[in-house]
Structure 1
Amino acid sequence: MELALLAIGVGIGVGIVVGALGAGGGILAVPVLVFLLGMPAHSATASSLIIVLITALVSLPHHARHGNVEWRSGAVFAAISVAGAVVGSRLSALVPEQVLLTLFGVLLVAVAFAMLRRALRTRSEERAEAAAHGSRGADAEATVAIHDDPVLDQPGPDTTESADGLLHHHGEAELPTTPTRPASPRLPLVIAAATLTGLLTGFFGVGGGFIVVPMLVIALGLAMRRASGTSLLVMVIATAASLLARVGTDVQIDWATTLIFAAGSAAGGIVGGPLSAKARASTLTLLFSGLLGGVAAVTLVQTLLV
């Protein structure tokens, strides 16, 4: 009973953070499951896949209704990622726990650094926008603040930008000549990006926007918001393949704790979501970077020094 209460409490906390900062739940779930709930590292990565899968399934219909899911491109990308997901899952089961957690800590550091650079760049753009347009600055700031993920408000190849510098989405003014995506994305780039996405998803048990969204932008040329919606489709397929690839291994899943954690995280996400509209994208991304840096420090210290 105490473990169940701890799982739902921690899950709600993670969900609030995820909802407010737009962060991926998987990258936070693994260290939480290991260091707070006492799961073995391999079990935690498998449980994280279940949490990511549930989150993606719940979130996908909302993005689909708003036309932010490229079904065909996403399905092709996800299908290619399956090979990497299977290989990553099998390799993960063979790696010693200390090595797995050390590599996960390194991944956290890399993502934290990338988010820090994005936050500083976004903050600079926000200040330039405010200085250039005076009274328009407040409107621009509000526009940037309303988002699903700190990553999503960055211009993508098919995001339109008006003369006043503001981005326009979801039926707002767009340039009629702007294509939704490149006519013929490079096949080798798509294959490489999808395979890497699957490999990281299967190996670490994560699959959030920090991996999939940039890959979809780079490989398929989608705008950030559309890439975010499409990434949910990719995550559903990639995480499902990663879980199936673990069948027959020695990895055991604590289903009760995992499902309770996932339910708490979903509830927390509902609470945390509205908080994201009250802060600038650069502030949210900076907070996400700091959070990941702290989790990375705890992960590496606990793994290497304890």
Structure 2
Amino acid sequence: MIIGVIVLGLAIGLLTGFAGAGGAIITVPALVYLIGLPLDQAISTSLVMGAVAPIAALAPRIRQRLVNWQVVLFVVVTGIPAAFAGTAVGKLIPQNILLLAFAALMVAAGVQMLRPRPSQPSSERPRYWVLRALLIGAFVGFLTGIFGIGGGFITVPALVLLLDIPIGIAVGTSLAVALINTLAGLIAHAGAADPNWAVAVAFTVPSMIGAFLTARLAHKVNPVLLQRSFAILVLMIAVLTAIQVILAW
């Protein structure tokens, strides 16, 4: 099992380093169906991973000044309390329903990742940008709490489309938001289900190595090809997750 976790961690770390988003949405179903963890423990374990793994992908982007800290501040202001709210709601939903909702979320993520993103955002702040940032934070934080994910697959396109932030800075900003939100989600989940620390450690170390390496090479990879390839992978996992839930019902 540990070898499988190491391979999974490396793969998701590589994805996170390149795209700055998306790895966590694969982690939860992988922990449930490949590793065999209960859903509540998979969510807690995923939050541990999400609180540590993005650091390696974030560090090079901080040095390159690819993080908009002002936007991070406004996004996490609503994201942190929303993570606690999402955790409370998640405890009330049966596991099968939660997994089906997760599959639906993956479909939505995959579809939006297939859509092209603007390559030349405006240099001016869009109207009501603070309100938009607060709304992004509330939605992404809620997803973090209920599903144990960082929400980067939503944060990145939201920052680009709603705040006119260049894609490179959006990725770095999303990583910073995910790091803070997952810490809040982890605190909110404390006592609900303890993480599997052996799995978390076996995952996080190779994930950080993979994320650090690919974050330094991300600018050399065709972002459109990477985005579409990952979208197809997410859609496939969504279908497999839904089938597993329906067969086990």
Q: Report the TM-score when normalising by structure 2.
A: 0.88
CA gap of 1:253–1:293, structure 2 versus 1, over 3 A, is same
Q: Distance in 1 between matches of 2:236 and 2:230?
A: 10
Unaligned runs of 5+ in 1: 119-150, 159-177
Contact 1:7 1:260 in 2 (8 A): yes
Equivalent position of 1:288 in the other structure: 230
Instruction: Return 215-224 or 228-237, whichever deviates more.
Output: 215-224
Is 1:43 matched up with 2:51?
no
Structure 1 residue ranges, 4+ long, deviating more than 4 angstroms after superposition: 17-23, 270-279
Tell me by how many angstroms 1:268 deviates. Answer: 3.5
Equivalent residue for 1:25, pick from 1, 20, 23:
23
Q: Report the TM-score when normalising by structure 1.
A: 0.73
Contact 1:43 1:252 in 2 (8 A): yes
Equivalent residue for 1:216, pick from 139, 143, 159:
159
- 2:119 corresponds to which letter in structure 1? P
Contact 1:7 1:37 in 2 (8 A): yes
Contact 2:60 2:215 in 1 (8 A): no
Contact 2:87 2:188 in 1 (8 A): yes
Equivalent position of 2:141 in the other structure: 198
RMSD: 2.4
CA gap of 1:191–1:279, structure 2 versus 1, over 3 A, is closer
Q: Which has the larger radius of gyration?
A: 1
Tell me by how many angstroms 1:305 deviates. Answer: 1.5
Contact 2:45 2:196 in 1 (8 A): yes
Equivalent residue for 1:297, pick from 217, 225, 239:
239
Q: Distance in 1 between matches of 2:225 and 2:131?
A: 36
Q: Which has the higher helix share?
A: 2
State the Cα deviation string for residues 150-182 of structure 1 (Å, max 9, x = none): x6xx42534xxxxxxxxxxxxxxxxxxx44x34
Tell me by how many angstroms 1:277 deviates. Answer: 6.3
Is 1:233 matched up with 2:176?
yes
Equivalent position of 1:137 in the other structure: none
Unaligned runs of 5+ in 2: none
Is 1:80 matched up with 2:73?
no
Percent sequence identity over aligned pairs: 33
Is 1:157 matched up with 2:113?
no
Tell me by how many angstroms 1:219 deviates. Answer: 4.6
Counterparts of 1:141-156 in structure 2, within 5 Å, are: 154-155=118-119
Q: How many residues align?
A: 248
Equivalent position of 1:12 in the other structure: 10
Q: Distance in 2 between matches of 1:113 and 1:281?
A: 16
